[in-house]
Amino acid sequence: MSKLVIILLCIFLPPVAVFILRGFSGAFFLNIILVLLFFLPAVVHALWIALSDKKA
């Protein structure tokens, strides 16, 4: 998947982006919790995973 699409998903739908990159893992569930608490930390977390992931 294109890096631009992943970054846009990180901004608008962070859990979806993390799920695409990592699947059902601890990072996905952490991102769900961050979305429920406050949206901005979830965006930062998703961007961090997307930009540091070696597979994407």
Q: What is the 3-state secondary structure (H, E, C) of the chain?
A: CCHHHHHHHHHHCHHHHHHHHHCCCHHHHHHHHHHHHCHHHHHHHHHHHHHHCCCC
Q: What is the pLDDT of residue 47?
A: 96
> For the segment 3-56, what is each residue's pLDDT rounded down to a tens digit?
999 999 999 999 999 999 999 999 999 999 999 999 999 999 999 999 996 664
Q: What is the pLDDT of residue 26?
A: 92
Domain limits for position 27? 3-52
Q: CB neighbours of 49 closer than 8 A, spacing ≥ 6?
A: 17, 18, 21, 22, 27, 31
Q: How many structural domains are present in the chain?
A: 1
Provide the whole-model pTM: 0.88
